[in-house]
Chains A and B, each alone.
Chain A
Amino acid sequence: MLNKMVGIIDDIGGVTLFMKEVFRTGIKTPCTFSEIMDQTWKVTIQSLSTTAMAGFFVGAIMTVQFTLQVSQFGALGYLGGLATSGTIREVGPLLIAFMLSGKVGAFTSAELGTMRVTEQIDAIKCLGANPIQEIILPRFVGIILSSFFLLTIGLFMSIWGGLLMGIVFSGISIEEYVRHIPNIVSPVSIVTGLFKCFVFAFVLASICTYKGYNATGGAKGVGKAVVDTAVFTMIGIVIADWVTSAIGESVMELFLK
């Protein structure tokens, strides 16, 4: 137990130092724009359809759940607003980010871990290049850009999923579903949702590149890196969610005053 605690503190320190190195390299010797675009494109294409589908169903689920709650109070008119707001601000980013951590995170840490244990990363150094610049930077930036984009797409799809369920399951018209959305979904909640997406993307990108880059011990080590990535990313995202929610709350208060 104590060992585990120390290990976690070790990892937090490790990620922080790794990020420092990545930023330092990014400022001193950035990678090319086309390398970043290559990675962004690769990740986006890999996960676009799954993210869109996940987003759609998250929206649908939320509407179904809200229907069961609000219909008791005869407040079906508020269904659209409540479901959309809840999805965009909280559940949507969280669930979609979880899915991306399984897909993008696992893929990237496996890829980098394999490069580490097959000595490709050492080879890059020995051939006179900086592996952080060559392979980490493009992936890091690429994952942030594409995850942010994918999360946004997912949220957008969740609105449609919710709308469809509103019509099919709850039996209300489009106008009725849409009417209260502008009242309840304030610009602040959209900004909060997008900000969350960005923070989650950052958490995902830093953990999977760190874990993959620092894998040790052959094929088993790669497996461990992938598992660690999945676990730590999810924990990281939940914590980040809590922190950003708190911040979102205080920002909201600031605006209301």
Chain B
Amino acid sequence: MSDAQVQFINVIKSFGDRTILKGISFEAKQGEILFILGTSGTGKSVLLKNLVGLLRPDTGEIWVDGEEVSQISEEKYFDIRKKCGMVFQHPALFDSLTVFENVAFGVRKHYDYPEEKIKEIVKKCLKLVHLDDVEEKLPQDISYGMQKRVSLARTVAISPKILLFDEPTTGLDPVTTNAVNQLILDLSKTLKTTSLVVSHDMHCALAIADRIIVLDKGNIVDQGTPAELKASKHPLVKEFLMEATTHA
């Protein structure tokens, strides 16, 4: 094992006769921000879901914090999910619970804290995502951008070592997009988490990534630091780069 906190070794995943991940290998080091770029439908979400055990790979190994997890039981995954917090593409907040209860949900399941401490954690996490005065509101009463931030706070609340983001900025306006990017950067600095960000936004990737992996049709077609990728010859990467510069 290297010093990687997350490592995929030759991971293959198919649905029926459609192979979505065709032997993916990569690693993410402690504390880095790794972007996984790809057009929609290439299997970015499938990749993240394999990591948190919502899907299981057909073959291959997945290492999380020094433990091979691809075939462990659902019960054992409980601890892995405490280490690996996932922020979904949708806010995925529970409609019937208040913002406070949404953020407290995972904390209650994973820790045996007294109510006082839970309150403290929720306050702290909402502050991290720059929200206050929303604790008693229901998810449908706040804006979409705010919901996404609450969703982020909910994941951060269980203090994971690794944060996974599924298209954190898709569907957001440019101002909120920048805010969310800044947030990912800040979180990874203040909480020292490793971040895996799945996205199709090269602009964001160039701005905050330590390393970028480009995924196409189930294979990794290119990877490197933002500077290295800017010099890439791969047509898909070039297209992504063009998008990014015209938008910027």
Known contacts A119-B89, A119-B90, A120-B93, A127 near B109 by CB under 8 Å? yes
Is A220 interfacial (CB 8 A cutoff)? no
**A51 CB, min distance to chain B CBs, angstroms:** 24
Q: Considering the complex, give the chain B residue whose CB is closest to the CB of A120.
A: B92
Tell me which of B56-64, B80-88, B186-194, B227-235 binds A: B80-88
**Chain B residues, Cβ within 8 Å of A118:** 90-92
A125 to B110, CA, bound (A): 12
Is B49 interfacial (CB 8 A cutoff)? yes
**A14 CB, min distance to chain B CBs, angstroms:** 15
- A102-131 at interface with B (beta carbon < 8 Å): 118-120, 122-129
Is B154 interfacial (CB 8 A cutoff)? yes
A129 to B90, CA, bound (A): 19
- Taking residues whose C-beta sits less than 8 angstroms from the other chain, chain B's interface range is 20 to 34
- Taking residues whose C-beta sits less than 8 angstroms from the other chain, chain A's interface range is 10 to 19
**Chain B residues, Cβ within 8 Å of A125:** 52-54, 81
Is B158 interfacial (CB 8 A cutoff)? yes
B92 touches A128 (CB 8 A): no
A123 touches B92 (CB 8 A): yes
A125 to B75, CA, bound (A): 11
B106's partner among A119, A120, A127 (CB-CB below 8 A) is A127
B158's partner among A119, A120, A124, A128 (CB-CB below 8 A) is A128
**Chain A residues, Cβ within 8 Å of B106:** 126-128
Is B240 interfacial (CB 8 A cutoff)? no
B82 touches A128 (CB 8 A): yes
Is B113 interfacial (CB 8 A cutoff)? no
Known contacts A127-B106, A127-B158, A129-B109, A122 near B49 by CB under 8 Å? yes
Residues of A at the B interface (CB closer than 8 Å) are 118-120, 122-129
Residues of B at the A interface (CB closer than 8 Å) are 49, 52-54, 78, 81-82, 85-86, 88-95, 105-106, 109-110, 151, 154-155, 158
